[in-house]
Structure 1
Amino acid sequence: MPASPSTARVINDRLALSLLQQEGPLTAGRLKELTGLSRPSVADLVERLTAAGLIEVVGESGEQRRGPNAKVYGIVADRAHLAALDVRTEGVSVTVSDLLGRVLAEASAPIDTGVGTGPAVEQAVALVERAVKEAGVDMPHTVGIGAPGLIDPGTGELRNSSGLPEWHRRLVAALQERLPEARVSVENETNLAALAEQRDGAARDRDTFVLLWLGVGVGAAVMLDGIIRRGASGGTGEIGFLPVPGTTGLPSATDCGGGFHSLACAAAITDLAATHGVTATPEPGEPRAAALVRTATAEPSLPPHTAFLDTLADRLALGAAAVTSVLDPGCVVLAGEIGRAGGQPLATLVQSRLAALSPLPTEVRASELGGEAVLRGALLTARERAQEELFGYHSSGRPDA
């Protein structure tokens, strides 16, 4: 059954907005070419979207042989503003941007958890409010938060966990209270990193892959057919609890010690480096484990570095083999501060070990975004949610019900 005229207009408007988001500013003529619509249909949708305040004239095309230059239309960037948070155990980073993702303000600060949950939440909220003010924004339309831990698939809330500080869970409610008009949502940090790597990083050409996050803790994100898979309880990717050989025991339901975490977390990597006599001087803000891996990969021919990297690759391949044997993703991205520090040299070592453990061909790649991936992923999701709401307009200019 053909779409009704009103439905067709909505579909055409959304198609045009999507093209303007992906391609940047376009002329009506170029919109006609990309959409396949008639010239009158394009003229009508340009008029509707302009009247709705979603697009505006942002310039003119180059010199024309005849007649005036064509107007160039773009999305109204300040129609909505976004805030993204990367929440870690020890601190928070914030980015504020316009609807096109252009950064207007950034801030980060450690959180003093020794003062108690309430004051810790207040420190984090104050940081967000300061960044919003510096960006010249009254109220962000959407706030995207990336945090460690499990997200309840039914409620979308961060689940209680004995391994995470209470202020993480309180932060979401506090931000919603202080920014009452904003749409606040939270997502697992590793899932956000995978979204960012798939959009802007090492997995740009993949819609199926697994991301291994290597930082203070370890985790995994699973993207299958372009969709992040969260599992029945939101726990897909809790690879730190994976029982593996080489540990002193087994993990439990409340403690990942004895699991893959015991081999691949930052503390374990630091201990491994000490065993092999590897030393490093961290750069400002660089985690010690990342500095050790970076130093070893910079001079891999030194005997201590070779032994350290070989053992580390063996360890990482154990976790990767378990995931790939079940999911067969064809690609694994080593992410987080440590994955970024190891770069492609470490990824190549892991790939060679993985090939010996699994019959399934799997490419191992290094993250291109490193520790920035979570914040970028949070910004991407905030932007998409805002655009879904703002761009869901009928021809009358009213949002979809």
Structure 2
Amino acid sequence: MTIARTATPSTARAINDRLALDLLLTRGPLTAPELRTLTGLSRPTVADLLERLQRGGLVAVVGESGEQRRGPNARLYALVADRAHLGGIDVRSTGVSLVIADLTGRTLATAEIPAGPEHGDDLAERTVRALLDAAEQVGVKHLHTVAVGAPGVVDPTTGVLNNSGQLPRWHAELLDALRAQPETEVILENEVNLAGIAEHRIGAAQGREDFVLLWLGHGVGASVVLNGRLRRGASGGTGEIGFLPVPGTGMLPNATGCDGGFHSMVASAAICELARAHGLTVPEGGPVEQAEEVLRSALAADATAFLDELADRIAIGVAAVCVVIDPGCVVLGGEIGRAGGAALAARVERRLADLSPFRTEVRAGSAGGGAVLAGAVLTAGDAVRRDLFGEP
């Protein structure tokens, strides 16, 4: 027999408060009548929670609605956006991008910190200084939480980045320097996972309970969302698809390197090699920029043979994922996915239909080039709101 449990008054108040705060976050300023309609709560309950949230400094009156009638019910209530501030950081081998945001996720400041021999070896120190300077310039005295996206495997139990000898030393130094900041929580997450969070919440995978983000750029990775939840795996290695053994590479990957795996077929350097093999001109620049430009040019010129072979290569890796977890939707992200857009996604989807027994929609990512930073802000914002609003 199941015994129904009745929520205590304090629990009910916490649930109602969180419900109202989430509505104010997602919908913006609302009147008390609007909150009553959206929550189904009574007039006294809404009045009580608004008074309580104002006392706690989370909600404030920001004006009046456009209704003819004036009075308490016409007041507009909104979250106090500067109640807490947060940061997002995208760590790459070429440098660091960062953003400062308020409680609602609105961007207040951004900064770019380049890496390389010509910039010195103090990147960790320069990044922390840039973060604090950017915050100070917009009047932010304290960052509640900073979410960091970095390449590599992040242990889901310890939060430690598994370097495997592949990442620059300053990556670990930066994390240590950030964690040394007083009273600031630091959340470390794989950068492709953060991009997947962005595509799920604000991008091409909105409304999907199951999907895979395939990140195509300098390297190759994937973010897996099933039943609406990001999946990391026992050691944090879910999505390390660059190591996937595939036909056509002439060798196998190993425990310390993905050469010979899927990475060798669709990473930026491989795309440039494929373009040259098809007689296409590859411009000067870094591998990622070269691959982006050659792909855009190929699409503009309708270089069918090159585009079809690239779609075939991508579809091989996607098919391997689909026959294991059947996500129903795959989003092509990263610099290459963004450059290929809907045209490349459509080609991959057609080829995938020949390889997999399951119908899978392939979409172009829409969270943009800042998907990792967007995911970092969303992740940090979730942590801040859990602390201030309580668990959902």
* Matches for 1:337-352 after TM superposition, within 5 Å: 337-352=335-350
Percentage of matched positions with identical amino acids:
59
Q: What SS does the aligned partner of 2:369 have?
A: helix
> Is it true that 1:126 corresponds to 2:124 in the alignment?
no
Alignment partner, residue 161 of structure 2: 158
Alignment partner, residue 190 of structure 1: 192
Alpha carbons 2:149, 2:188 under 8 Å: kept: yes
Shift of residue 257 of structure 1?
0.3
Q: What SS does the aligned partner of 1:371 have?
A: coil
Alignment partner, residue 175 of structure 1: 178
Which of residues 21, 32, 35 is equivalent to 1:31?
A: 35
* Matches for 1:241-280 after TM superposition, within 5 Å: 241-279=243-281
Alignment partner, residue 214 of structure 1: 216
Alpha carbons 2:32, 2:46 under 8 Å: kept: yes
Please give the alpha-carbon distance, in whole angstroms, between the structure 2 residues aligned to 1:69 and 1:241: 59
Shift of residue 276 of structure 1?
1.3
Identify which range, 149-158 or 322-331, moves more after superposition: 149-158
Identify which range, 106-115 or 195-204, moves more after superposition: 106-115
Please give the alpha-carbon distance, in whole angstroms, between the structure 1 residues aligned to 2:37 and 2:284: 52
Q: What SS does the aligned partner of 1:82 have?
A: strand
Alpha carbons 2:67, 2:74 under 8 Å: kept: no
Please give the alpha-carbon distance, in whole angstroms, between the structure 1 residues aligned to 2:381 and 2:244: 34
1:63-116 per-position Cα deviation (integer Å, ceiling 9, x unaligned): 324657711100000001111001001110011111111111111121125777
Q: Using structure 2 for the length normalisation, give the TM-score.
A: 0.95
Shift of residue 284 of structure 1?
12
Measured on the aligned residues, the alpha-carbon RMSD in Å equals 2.0
Please give the alpha-carbon distance, in whole angstroms, between the structure 1 residues aligned to 2:88 and 2:48: 35
Alignment partner, residue 376 of structure 1: 374
Please give the alpha-carbon distance, in whole angstroms, between the structure 2 residues aligned to 1:182 and 1:276: 51
Alpha carbons 1:77, 1:100 under 8 Å: kept: yes
Q: How many residues align?
A: 388
Q: What SS does the aligned partner of 2:35 have?
A: helix
Alignment partner, residue 56 of structure 2: 52
Shift of residue 280 of structure 1?
5.5
Q: What SS does the aligned partner of 2:154 have?
A: coil
Which of residues 229, 234, 257 is equivalent to 2:236?
A: 234
Q: What SS does the aligned partner of 1:287 have?
A: helix
What letter corresponds to residue 121 of structure 1 in structure 2? A
What letter corresponds to residue 337 of structure 2 in structure 1? G
Identify which range, 119-128 or 50-59, moves more after superposition: 119-128
What letter corresponds to residue 134 of structure 2 in structure 1? A
Which of residues 11, 15, 19 is equivalent to 2:19?
A: 15
What letter corresponds to residue 98 of structure 1 in structure 2? D
Please give the alpha-carbon distance, in whole angstroms, between the structure 2 residues aligned to 1:360 and 1:239: 20
Q: What SS does the aligned partner of 1:370 have?
A: coil
Alpha carbons 1:270, 1:288 under 8 Å: kept: yes
Q: 1:116 to 1:47 in 2, by over 3 A?
A: same
Please give the alpha-carbon distance, in whole angstroms, between the structure 1 residues aligned to 2:76 and 2:288: 44
Please give the alpha-carbon distance, in whole angstroms, between the structure 1 residues aligned to 2:368 and 2:289: 12
What letter corresponds to residue 221 of structure 1 in structure 2? S
Alpha carbons 1:159, 1:169 under 8 Å: kept: no
What letter corresponds to residue 7 of structure 2 in structure 1? A
Please give the alpha-carbon distance, in whole angstroms, between the structure 1 residues aligned to 2:251 and 2:286: 36
Q: 1:146 to 1:32 in 2, by over 3 A?
A: same
What letter corresponds to residue 252 of structure 2 in structure 1? L
Please give the alpha-carbon distance, in whole angstroms, between the structure 2 residues aligned to 1:115 and 1:282: 22
What letter corresponds to residue 364 of structure 2 in structure 1? A
Q: Which runs of 5+ in 2 are unaligned?
A: none
Q: Which runs of 4+ in 1 moved over 6 A?
A: 282-286
Shift of residue 251 of structure 1?
0.3
What letter corresponds to residue 142 of structure 2 in structure 1? M
Q: Using structure 1 for the length normalisation, give the TM-score.
A: 0.93
Q: What SS does the aligned partner of 2:370 have?
A: helix
Alignment partner, residue 74 of structure 1: 78
Alignment partner, residue 225 of structure 1: 227
Q: 1:365 to 1:341 in 2, by over 3 A?
A: same
Alpha carbons 2:272, 2:287 under 8 Å: kept: no
Shift of residue 285 of structure 1?
12
Identify which range, 66-75 or 156-165, moves more after superposition: 66-75
What letter corresponds to residue 212 of structure 1 in structure 2? L
